Structure 1
Amino acid sequence: MKTSKRRGRVNKNVFTTRSGKSVKVNRSLSQRVQGMKDSKALRKAERLSGMPKSRFKRFFYRLHPKRLAAYWFSREGGIMALKIVGLSFIVGFVLLAGMFAYFRKDLPNLKDISGNNIGGSIRYYDRTGQVLLFEDYDAVKRIPVGENGINKYMKDATVAIEDRDFYKHGGFDVRGIMRAGVNNVFGLSGGQQGGSTITQQLVKLSQDWTKDQTYTRKVKELILSVELEREYSKQQILAGYLDTAPYGGIEYGVEAASRDYFEKSAKDLTLDEAAMLATIPKSPTYYSPYSNSFDKDAFVGRQHYVLDQMADQGMITAEEKEEAKKVDTVAKVKPRKPKYDGIKSPWFVLAAKEQLEQTRGQDAVKRSGWKVTTTLDLDLQQKAEEQVSKGLKQVRRQGGDVAAFAAEDVKTGQIVALVGGSDFSNPDFGQNNYARMRLPPGSSFKPYDYTTLIENTTNSGAGSVLYDTQGPVEGYPCTNKQRPQQGGNCLWDYDFRYPGPTTIRYGLAGSRNVPAVKAMLIAGIDKTIQTAEKLGLKSGYKCYADASLTKESQCYASSAIGDGAYLRLDEHVHGYASLSRNGLNIPQTYILKIEDSNNKVVDEWKPSKGEQAVNPEAAYIISDILSDPNASYMATKIQNYKGHKFSVKTGTTNDSKDGWMMGYSTQYAAGVWVGYHTRQKDMSGFMENMTSPIWKGWMNAVHDNLKPEERAKPAGIQTLPAYVQRTSPGGRARVPGPNNDLFPSWYKNTKKATTEKRILDQVSGKLATDCTPPRAKQETSDSGADAFSSDTLHGNSSSSGSGNGDDKDDVHKCEDVKPTITLTVQKSGDQYTLVATVVQGTHPLSGDKFKGNVTFTADGQQLAGGSYEISASGSVVYQNYKPANGTAPTITATVTDSVLYDASDSKTITASSNSSQSSNNGNSHNNQSPNPWNNHDDD
């Protein structure tokens, strides 16, 4: 037994079985590996033993079908197949993961399927957010409405034709991709669906990949489609697609398409209409009824195919399908409307759009699809449109054809009304927004001049003096004293007069040019412009070297009176509103709120503390001056209305191409501009006849039911003795001026007034002489004006005309020939005709400062309508004079010429005897009568 056991165990761990085979047990790892190698080598040797010895021959030997089949169905073949499959899976996974990582690193994190990248119609509403003013689009007309704004027909039709397995796949359709691949390879076509799912198409639209057809883009599209399916529900994805898909040249999204084609919302579409719209995205150029390439037969065929697909997929019944096919849907399509069709308050809306582009960027606006609630008050806007429409009649009578208007809420800085022209539909200039166009402001700029002067000097207030005299001023050498139209180069006023010392109150309210230019020069041109810009001229007050306003240049003294410099009406209104706020500039806005398509607030107006642009005291004094009807030169006093005080300033450019009226209360600021649309045509008459009815009409209407509010008076304002304005600066200003006036807290006056009286010549503005006619003489204490003067430029000219120097009247000469007048009386029944024959003397009968005048009086009382202007020798006739019975009035005819020489002739009529008895009381004696400039009735 012992011997047999030793024979069965040849080596350690090796045993011999009964069959004679040796078996190793309890082998080490290395022994096992070696055993496997030995077994493999043994099997290989067994296989090779039956094969040719040459490798070349063995290769073809193995390719025999029977041997191949035997191998792959053998144990060795099965193991090899498993190895190949496993390795392929690993390699494929690694390649797929690498490809995903490679492409994904450059892809966006797709969280937004709003379609804003494509763009969308911006909807502008009034300040209530309820009244739609305009739905704006450029290249894209799109109105996102979300899944609740689209009816089931539209959703089902889209799924049926675009992606029948939409509710089953996870972002991409393998069968669809394979089908599309076969079609591409073999050139197949027909009514088959494409390879892209609705999810993939939404990805393309969201990433602007619609024109990129590369395989790389396809891979990226698949990656984002899978991620999109994880992020959103199927209904959200479908709604996102329907809100974004192209439905025509500019129509994007089913809501915009539904409104344009059928004038209804997408939630109200009928079955045939939904099938029609579902047809279009495949090829908008070919299937859109608005396209020049529209093929109705092809379109109807595809529409019916959509209905067939809906019926096949159980979305509609066969009866519904057939009924829908009977409808001529193309006949229901509405004609495309012009872009601005139905727009309300068009110039305001375009102004709001400009602000939106400036603050949010043009690209953002184009792709936003926002709802914009504006500051427009429809009631106030309607009043503005009515006043402009009525006022245009007078504008046209005086040679213009355009009027613009803007109004701002003083407390908020919100533009509440704006009219930019006369007719928005006019193809030539209707869309020009004159309320935001650069225009020269004329005298309406002057409040900025005086605000700057008062704020930046210590000797200026409402009662301070600036000398309105003829002489050289920077920019106006005054070497030729003729009118500008005749080549003169002096600075003139509208009435061609120089009243001498003029208070700031009367200089501003009387719209005098010389004091305004001096105010700017004393304060500084650049500083004055900076003040105006700080108050509200955000786009600047600029001068240009060319007529097209493209090359900016330095502004000079003429810009003080709005000559050669430009601003915008709406910003000008804002500057005046800042004055009303005592110099506080709060941001001007056209927009209250911006919301996205999901009603999420993007931006919203909030009250601002603003910036103190100028000292409140300076602004308050200017407001007080502009609200003073006594100092105003205007014939119609519009500064007071039902307890409200309006601060008003007019403006006219030197070439009469622009007329302005600007003003404000404590509640609203408003401005009017009138002109000709090309600004190449002068207007006639007084600008106030055109601007005042519009401005006054609106301001009175909006203040009718408002409670008057007093402007807060700054604590530092002083009421101090002032220069008393006794000489009217012109127009309908009333004198004398106040003895005391407003001055800022920093005002210091070191001068003392004198009581010296002087006799001035009103014509030359110099000391009167013995040759000065009595009518031209005026007693004054002009030397007292120096005590209140803030005019540091006064005295630069030898012809200042202020009466404060020793210059004497150089207009009148003792040898002058005075005009003559001869009166004749002609009787007809109980009435008389009075004829005055005038002969000119040395000087013209009518001139720049004083107009020639003939008056008829009876016993010293001027006859009704008995005053006539005269410019040349000739006769003046007064008809139908009837004296009272039993009286014998003395009729006197008096002529006054351009330098205030006068002459008169008288006749006495004995009415009781019905005969004319004349007695000549002197043919050319002088007669002291009132100044003809003060012979007008005040309004």
Structure 2
Amino acid sequence: MTNRASGGQNNRPRMSARRKRNTFTTKSGKTIKLHRNLGERMKARRDLAARRKAARLAGLPKSRFKRMLYRLHPKRMARYWFSREGALMAVKIAGVSIIAGFLLLAGVFAYFRKDLPDINDISGNNIGGSIRYYDRSGQTLLWEDYDATKRIPVRDEDISQFMRDATVAIEDKDFFNHGGFDLRGITRAAVRDVSGGGAKEGGSTITQQLVKLNNDWSNEKTVTRKIKELILAVELERTYSKQKILTGYLNTAPYGNVQYGVEAAAQDYFHKSAKDLTLAESAWLAGIPKSPAYFSPYGLYFQQDPEAAAVDSVGRAHYILDLMFQQGLITDGQRSEAKAVDVLGSVHKPKPKFDNIQAPYFVMTAKEQLIAEYGTQLVQSGGWKVTTSLDMEAQRIAEEQVQKGMRQITRQRGDVAAFVAEDVTTGQVIALVGNDVFTADEDKGQVNYARQKLAPGSSIKPYDYAALIENTTDFGAGTVLYDTQGPLQDYPCTNKRRPSANGEGGNCLWNYDRRYSGPLTLRYALGASRNVPAAKAMLTVGAETVQATYKRLSNSPGTPEGENDRGDYKCYDNVQKTSEIPCSTSASIGDGAYLKLDEHVHGYASLSRNGVNLPQTYILKVEDSTGKTIKEWQETNGVEAVRPDTAYIVSDMLADPNASYFRRKPHRFAGWSYSLKTGTTNDQKDGWLVGYSTLYSAGVWVGNTNHGEMTSGMENMTQPIWSGWMNAMHEGKDPVERPRPSGVQTLPAFVIRNHVEYGTVEPSPANDLYPSWFKSDDKGASNQTIDIVSNKLATECTPPRARKNATNASANRFSADQFVNGGRGAQSDEPDDIHRCDDAKPVVTVNSINRNSVSVTINRGTHSLTSDAFPGTVSIVIDGQTVQSYPISDADSGSTRVLSYDYGGTGNKDVQIVVVDSVLYDATDSKNVDFGSGATALKLSTKRNGSKVTFNWSGGEGPYTVYYRKTSENAYKTACSGQNGNSCSKNLSSGSYQAYIEDDEGTKSSFISF
């Protein structure tokens, strides 16, 4: 017990001692606990704060408002802020302000930055810029294109160091030291703007100006814009080096009316590159961006007051030189030497936009393609180098041939021509002449007729026959279509009168020579350019099928649907081409249908490639200002527009000189074979020749700027231009044959023996080309003679003119013509039932005759003198040559007619008068006429001097009478009469005229034109 009591007593004092070690008693007797937990410490702080607050409020008014007034007393306020408590409060306020300011700035940045563009392009493309077009070599500059902005971006090293230093000196002397904005400059500008102390300043650095130029902010002066500008300027400095930023500014700064960027300015003002600028030139140029309208010599100020403008411009340049010296960028000697230079004296006058442009219409078409592919906005951003497909030699020859051809075109009352050529092997256009002139005359001088919608005339017919062969199984080159008069869709043929210029003629479809040739193979129908077979070809497959065939051949593969109406011909009901209508039968002969020359040439090129359509292009390569390739031409396999058999057969038909109506045969040259087709519109307003070899496809169009009529014989205008270019381009090149598709068949064909046209050669081949899908019937043939009037077998009563030898007795067995007698062809295995042996024949009697006219009496026989199928004629024939022909009708029967004629020969000649009636019976009478000797033959010539025309003649017996007429008029007028000398004169207005002279014996000279 004693021990437990003793142990318990010893333990208690030790525990008390431990509790005491956790406390501390101050001198005042206050006990403080040394080791407190978190809760105890927080409670202690709250207690302390409460005691301090109580002490602070002791002696103060109880009301908060009264306490605020109490503290605002100056002495008390100063005592508070210099006290410990005031200092702590100041620190708190400053910290909160810093945090709030940071958050505010971050919020402002986020608010404005969300709508700002990314700074990843300082090229200035939004401003626009020049596009440079080069020939296919990439070396010859054709044109530098600019609209409202002429700008040529260059690299850092392509700008003179003088130019860089001068710009920094005047625009932003601290450029290389600040981080995108100059706070002192902004503050200084703000003070001056508010106080009005001096001119207003923007305080913008070069970096900020570049931001404005690249974001179209040049005219926006608001606080919002300034904030955006500062944000982007800082980002710009973090993204690009100082040199890149300076180059970006120099590539975009305005230096004149349209001159943006120092390269464009250097080239226009000094005709040199920016890298070659001198110190004086650089200082002068650096002063322009502040106010281009004021300091540019092309600006308004220089136009209004050139002397004052020159003083101001030079003064600013000298001021910049002073700044450069002050900033240590140049020496004093360099400054003095530069100030002595007459910079304005070396500035060149502004050049017109199209100055020195080469191949202008080709370039404009290349630009059109560029816009179609990339859009106007992107193209106008500019700075591109465009390498075109233009072959300079091919273009030179084209321009030369067009200019040579204009003399004949003018003679035939035309005044404009266009030409396009394409490389068949690539689809690249290598030459284009859109007009024979390129001037400021907008009525003619800038119209690109190679890209105008024009009526193609008969040059459209190859597409008719291509569609026919492609979409049927019974047509080939030797298949027959009848060239005969009769009703067709859109041509009811209820009125069989011949067409007339005033529109009062009949409603049948006629050929241009007003004749019908009967059964023709496709080869000769196409070569002789007969209208009726072409219309039947279209009607057999449908106008829509022909249109689709044309589009497949002429539209570049991959062209978006409807883009510029490329590769399509359309029909309109007015010449303004504002009201589109479905194409009718007339479109088969190019009447009422319209297409574009370059696309037409491309369609023919697709035929030359055996039906493969390659993309047509004017552009080989596009590069941006850094040399990066944006686009480059790549060879493709193309697409099949028509099957190879179709294209090959059409090409072969077009290349056949025997089937062509051409008297001059341009189908062969130096071993090369040309496939070609002419075209003339019914109103003589358009003339065409389009053709191709295996190497080139080319086309010529001639016409009038006022859409007026020309004289007939379009091939006289188009063929010399076309042949001149084709022959020059093929000369010295080894001929390349067109590969014949393996499926093309050679089978018997209808043989044409009657003369189809003045240039055709008969008989036609007994075998011809057919596609692999042609369904062949038995083509066994025997020689028989038919009557072409009745289309039946000839008899002994059939007159010679109506007889025709034919294979298999008729064309019917080779015909697939669904428009003849409602079937496949007219049957001719029955005998001629029109001609009878007892028919009365027509009679012609010569009453009197001289060297210029003949009086005849004509009497009809059993049959009428004329019909629509076989119009009657009376002809004057000398030495087997028809000198003059006149139509006749039953009204002439029994009456006397005086027929004039013009024969330039001499000596005694038998003059035959031949009458042919409606069923090809003929009658002849003749008389001998002495046309005199060459020495005494009456001859007339003219000489014009202004409006005065002098007529000179020789031969004959006086007195003489001279007659003249304008070629657009019918009646002759007397120029002078009763003349016994050998000349007379008359004042005549400008124009084309014809004239002849008649002597006292009634002898007439040949007609002359002047």
TM-score normalized by the length of structure 2 = 0.81
Aligned to 1:472: 487
Which residue in 1 is equivalent to 2:877?
855
Task: State the partner residue of 1:430.
Answer: 445
Can you list the C-alpha shifts for 1:893-919, whole angstroms capped at 9, x where unaligned?
32224546342336699x9xxxxxxxx
Question: What is the match of residue 498 of structure 1?
Answer: 516
Aligned residue type for 2:529? S
Alignment of 1:200-599 (within 5 A): 200-294=208-302, 296=309, 297-427=311-441, 428-485=443-500, 486-537=504-555, 538-599=566-627
Aligned to 1:121: 130
Distance in 2 of aligned mates of 1:520 and 1:212 = 63
Deviates more, 1:309-318 or 1:844-853: 844-853
CA distance in 1, matches of 2:77, 2:451: 89
Moved more, 90-99 or 708-717: 90-99
Contact 2:691/2:697, CA 8 A, preserved across alignment: yes
Secondary structure of the structure 1 residue equivalent to 2:726: helix
Please tell me the residue identity of whatever aligns with 2:266: S
1:790 to 795, 798, 816: 816
Write the deviation string for residues 24-83 of structure 1: whole angstroms up to 9, x where unpaired.
533343444444445445555555557677766654554455544443333323222221
Alpha-carbon distance in 1 for matches of 2:903, 2:146: 68
2:785–2:803 CA contact under 8 A, matched in 1: no
**d(CA) in 2 for partners of 1:452 and 1:326?**
77
**Counterpart pick for 1:134 among 138, 143, 163:** 143
Inter-partner Cα distance in structure 1 for 2:679 and 2:835: 34
Counterpart of 1:919 in structure 2 is: none
Greater displacement, 553-562 / 210-219: 210-219
Is 1:97 matched with 2:111? no
**CA RMSD of the aligned region, Å?**
3.3
The answer to whether the Cα contact below 8 Å between 2:620 and 2:632 also exists between their aligned partners in 1 is: yes
Q: CA deviation at 1:520?
A: 0.7
Residue deviations 1:233-291, cap 9 Å, x none?
11111111111122223221111122222222211222232222222222233333222
User: Alignment partner for residue 695 of structure 1, among 722, 732, 741?
Assistant: 722
Aligned counterpart, 1:156: 165
Q: Hey, what does 2:981 align to over in structure 1?
A: none
Question: Could you say what secondary structure the match of 2:720 adopts?
Answer: helix
Contact between 1:753 and 1:783, CA under 8 Å: does it hold in 2?
no
* Aligned partners of 2:916 and 2:923 also within 8 Å: no
Residue 623, structure 1, aligned to residue 640, structure 2: no
- Paired with 1:243 and 1:324, the residues of 2 have a C-alpha distance of 24
Residues 412, 21 of structure 1: CA spacing in aligned structure 2 closer, same or farther, 3 A cutoff? same
- Provide closer, same or farther for how the CA distance between residues 305 and 878 of structure 1 changes in structure 2, counting only shifts above 3 A: closer
Q: Give yes or no for contact 2:464–2:537 (8 Å, CA) kept in 1.
A: yes
CA–CA distance in structure 2, aligned partners of residues 879 and 602 of structure 1? 68
Residue pair 1:467, 1:802 contacting (<8 A) in 2 also: no
- Where does 1:620-659 land on structure 2 (aligned, <5 Å)? 620-659=648-687
Q: Percent identity?
A: 54
* Cα distance, 1:803–1:876 mapped onto 2, change above 3 Å: farther
**CA deviation digits over 1:659-712, x for unaligned, max 9?**
000100001000000000122x11103000000000000000000021100101
CA distance in 2, matches of 1:164, 1:852: 99
Match of residue 116 from structure 2: 107
- CA-CA distance at 1:300 after TM superposition: 3.8
Contact persistence 1:835–1:877 (CA under 8 A): yes
Q: Is 1:16–1:22's contact at 8 Å kept on the other side of the alignment?
A: yes
Task: State how 1:699-714 maps to structure 2 within 5 Å.
Answer: 699-714=726-741
Distance in 2 (CA, whole Å) between partners of 1:838 and 1:140 is 77
Letter in 2 for 1:617: D
Alpha-carbon distance between aligned partners in 2 of 1:28 and 1:86, rounded to the nearest angstrom: 30
Could you say if the C-alpha distance between residues 129 and 810 of structure 1 is closer, same or farther in structure 2, counting changes exceeding 3 Å? farther
Does structure 2 retain, via aligned residues, the 8 Å contact 1:470–1:801? no
Aligned residues: 880
1:784 counterpart SS class: coil
Q: Deviations over 1:58-113 (max 9, x none)?
A: 54554455544443333323222221221111111112222222222232222111
Shift of 1:230: 1.5
Partners of 1:419 and 1:710 in 2: CA distance: 28
In 2, distance between residues paired with 1:810 and 1:563? Answer: 38
Q: Secondary structure at the match of 1:602?
A: strand
Indicate whether 1:78 and 2:87 are aligned: yes
- Unaligned 5+ segments in structure 1 are 825-832, 884-890, 912-939
Tell me whether 510-519 or 310-319 shows the greater mean CA deviation: 310-319
Q: Please tell me the residue identity of whatever aligns with 2:381.
A: R
Q: Show CA shifts across 1:409-445 (max 9, x none).
A: 0010000000000111151211111001000100000
For residues 707-758 of structure 1, the C-alpha deviation after alignment (integer angstroms, 9 at most, x for no partner) is 1001010000111111111112212100001111111111113355664744
1:317 counterpart letter in structure 2: T
**Aligned partners of 1:6, 1:63: CA distance in 2, in Å?**
57
Question: Which residue pairs with 1:721 in the alignment?
Answer: 748
Matched ranges for 1:798-813 at <5 A: none
In 2, Cα distance between the equivalents of 1:215 and 1:805? 102
C-alpha distance 714-426 of structure 1, shift in aligned 2 (>3 A): same
Match of 2:562 in 1: none
Distance 1:367 1:618, change over 3 A: same
CA 1:586–1:630 in 2, change beyond 3 Å: closer, same or farther?
same
* Segment drifting more, 405-414 vs 895-904: 895-904
Larger RCO of the pair (alpha carbons < 8 Å, separation 6+): 1
Which sits farther off after the overlay, 132-141 or 618-627? 132-141
| 1:453/1:520 contact within 8 Å kept | yes
Q: Conserved in 2, the CA contact under 8 Å of 1:124 and 1:135?
A: yes
Structure 2 match to 1:914 = none
* Deviation, structure 1 residue 21: 6.9
Give the unaligned 5+ runs of structure 2.
1-13, 303-307, 556-565, 887-896, 933-1010
Contact 2:288–2:295 (CA<8 Å) still a contact in 1?
yes
Q: Determine helix, strand or coil for the equivalent of 1:405.
A: strand
The question of 1:736 aligning with 2:745 is answered no
Note the C-alpha offset of 1:546.
2.8
Shift of 1:512: 0.7
Q: Distance in 2 between matches of 1:27 and 1:907?
A: 156
Deviation per CA, 1:747-788: give whole Å up to 9, x if none: 1133556647445257x8788799976445545568431111
- The farther-off stretch of 720-729 and 348-357 is 720-729
Does residue 841 of the first structure (1) align with residue 858 of the second (2)? yes
> Secondary structure of the equivalent of 1:77?
helix
AA aligned opposite 2:509? L
Per-residue CA distance 1:155-206 (angstroms, 9 max, x = gap): 112111221111111112211222222233223333x863221112212222
1-structure distance, mates of 2:127, 2:608 = 45
Contact 2:846 2:927 survives alignment (8 Å): no
What is the Cα deviation at residue 819 of structure 1? 2.5
Deviations 1:444-468 (A, max 9, x none): 0000111111111111111110000
| Superposition deviation, residue 214 in structure 1 | 2.7
Structure 1's 54 and 524: CA in aligned 2 closer, same or farther, altered over 3 A?
closer
